[in-house]
A and B are shown apart, each in its own frame.
Chain A
Amino acid sequence: MSTHTEEIVDDYKPFNTDEIDTFQATRKVTLKTFRFNAETDYLPYYKHYEMEVGKDELILDLLNRIKWEHDGSFSYRRSCRHGICGACAIKVNGKATLACKQNAIELIELFGDELLIEPSSTKRAIKDMIIDKSDFWEKHAAVKPYVVSDVEARPKTESKQSIAEFNNFLDSDLCIQCGACHYSCPALEVNDAFLGPAALNAAYRFTVDTRDEAGDERLKITAEQGSGVWDCVKCFECAEACPKEINPIEKIGKLHNLQFVRGVAKSNVATRHAEGFLRGMKKSGYLDEADIVTYSEGYLGVYKHLGTALKMMKTGKIHWHSGIPFINSIPKIKNLDEVQKLIEISQTNKL
């Protein structure tokens, strides 16, 4: 070991000090963190962890610091740290968050200096951030999320996809099965049978693959009332939640259209509700609010709405003649003939 010492005169300053301060500025944050161990705890509870957070830290770094600096028993899933394995999806203040992709300061700016750290679905928690995702995988498997094709064992030619064919399913193929959309879906929270945005996105992915032969079967599965596309509430939570920007609800919309394009759609309350908009539009340009209910439900099914209809009549929201053909006098738009003509020449689907 050298004993030689040298006085180093360091007068070189790469930044002025103010700049360095800004650069290294940290924010103090309290992490109100969901804790639960299904094996030992009767109920979940929340623990508060305080820390200084730097500008480059990700939510995953904060989870690591809870474990490494505060409590080694704190549990969460993590693997790739590159937004590709989908393991670390959690919720922060109710916002679906892929922990390894989300900058922490951004969320502090959005929600303030207390962040609520919870698993994707608190009711499915096994240990802290770790949840039982079996419902997610069951629904995923239910839509046949693979190419169904009778391929020869030794094919003589390649099964190629053109760029256009590939682009059909490109973004839906980017799904990392993190469950962010699935556990942000309010329809699923209420209706256990609903397939949910991730499974429906997968159904779309393989249905539009030109090598696949199970499209109609998948469309029938996803057209089922109670579990399929018609139970989507159109809230766009999934579009917002997806860390890969897939926009699952857009794919749900395409599945709706495909039912009609490929003639899989059956006449029921949901399909008539979609197609029935045209009835009013052809007559007045507007949706006919009373007609859409009678037409969708059928005259026998409409009794369910009589109570509501009477209340609406009483306050003048609807008129006594609403829903009665020929007398019903909803207003008409100007230049109604244009709408009629455009429907005639642009309609591509039929029920």
Chain B
Amino acid sequence: MSEQLHYALFTGCTAKQSTPELLSSTLAVADKLGIKITILEEASCCGASHLQDFDEFLAHVLNARNICYAEKLGLTMITICNTCQLNSAMTKHALDKDPELKARVNEKLAEVGLEYKGTSEIKHFLYTLIDEYGVENIKDKVEVPLSHLNIAPFYGCHNIRPSELHEEANGHENPYNPTSLDNLIDALEGNPVNYESKNKCCGFHVELQANHTSEVLAGNALLDAVDNNADMMVTPCPLCHLKMDTYQDSIGEVMGRDVELPVLHMPQMVALALGCSEKEIGLNFHVQKAAHLYSQAS
């Protein structure tokens, strides 16, 4: 790589609150790989598709504001949450194809001295690693091969569906047969687990209002991974992580079977293989015990 990769990082809310390990491992990976990161400290919540249910226009205005700050830096905005990716990309898509909506949004943004132009790309960190840094280059940097681990990739809905929205940003990943995470696991010399639920829904978004649905969807995926001999699961989405890591006890009750599977954030897995520090990887923040993965790897 001739030029240093430089991105504007949209952290999202979870990385600033309940999953600090996501932020620290992301920054550690970027540092190891020599990727420059500027955190968008001005960026607000993306609405997580719930604010969108309440007030779609307002959600567009707030997401457009976030994108403005990446545009000001002239950088691609990267996300570390599938749902942040979805909602930011949805706003970009809507504004870029509908000049009338863009004008209405810009009228509001003008009140705070901003203008949405549409000049910044929006990409999940997973796909910048794969498509821009390159799987082969990551392979060269592996210090601690993960060959002792069967790793179940869990893609998370909002990076792969709707494919029409994401295909430019996710290297035309096919939602019915996604491969990026599998390829990344391969590059880190781990053993990707092939299981049906890898591209299914974790149920996070109805955790409060349709709890049973949420628990069963997460349970189906976790048990599918377990039944296919997974030692751990990995996901690019902190919401999938929260659902599948935090609720394993109650999921176990609903499913009538104990569930015990560490669920790592994608950057944590990469950080593990790149030899980042225990503190940066932050496995101590997991509800389902995962700290042994660090001691086994080092």
Residues of A within 8 A of B (CB): 93-95, 110-111, 186-187, 190-191, 194, 225-226, 229-237, 239-240, 247, 249, 253-254, 256-257, 260, 268-271, 273-275, 277-278, 280-281, 285-287, 289, 293, 296-297, 304, 307-308, 311-312, 314-318, 330-331, 333-335, 337-339, 341-343, 345-349, 351
Judged by a CB distance under 8 angstroms, whether B141 is at the interface is no
How far, in Å, is B44 (CB) from chain A's closest CB? 4
In the bound assembly, the distance between CA atoms of A182 and B270 in angstroms comes to 37
Query: Given that A312-B246, A317-B246 are known contacts, is A330 also in contact with B287, CB under 8 Å in the complex?
Result: no
How far, in Å, is A219 (CB) from chain B's closest CB? 13
Within 8 A of A (CB), among B45-70: 45, 47-58, 61-62, 65
In the bound assembly, the distance between CA atoms of A94 and B224 in angstroms comes to 16
| Contact (Cβ within 8 A) B45 A341 | no
List the one stretch of B30-38, B108-116, B185-193 in contact with chain A: B108-116
Judged by a CB distance under 8 angstroms, whether B103 is at the interface is no
CB-nearest residue of chain A relative to B247? A308
In the bound assembly, the distance between CA atoms of A176 and B118 in angstroms comes to 36
| Contact (Cβ within 8 A) B210 A94 | no
Judged by a CB distance under 8 angstroms, whether B162 is at the interface is yes
| Contact (Cβ within 8 A) A275 B54 | yes
In the bound assembly, the distance between CA atoms of A286 and B23 in angstroms comes to 15
CB-nearest residue of chain B relative to A347? B58
Chain B residues, Cβ within 8 Å of A190: 212-213, 216-217
CB-nearest residue of chain A relative to B216? A190
| Contact (Cβ within 8 A) A346 B13 | no
| Contact (Cβ within 8 A) A286 B45 | yes
Judged by a CB distance under 8 angstroms, whether B277 is at the interface is no
| Contact (Cβ within 8 A) A240 B49 | no
How far, in Å, is B252 (CB) from chain A's closest CB? 13
Residues of B within 8 A of A (CB): 13-14, 16-20, 41-45, 47-58, 61-62, 65, 108-109, 111-112, 114, 157-158, 161-164, 174-177, 196, 200-201, 203, 205-206, 208-214, 216-217, 246-247, 249-250, 284-287
Chain A residues, Cβ within 8 Å of B49: 234
Choose from B16, B41, B209 the contact partner of A334 (Cβ within 8 Å).
Answer: B41
How far, in Å, is A224 (CB) from chain B's closest CB? 12
Chain A residues, Cβ within 8 Å of B158: 234, 236
| Contact (Cβ within 8 A) A289 B214 | no
| Contact (Cβ within 8 A) B61 A186 | no
| Contact (Cβ within 8 A) A348 B213 | no
| Contact (Cβ within 8 A) B65 A277 | no
Query: Given that A307-B249, A315-B286, A331-B16 are known contacts, is A270 also in contact with B209, CB under 8 Å in the complex?
Result: yes
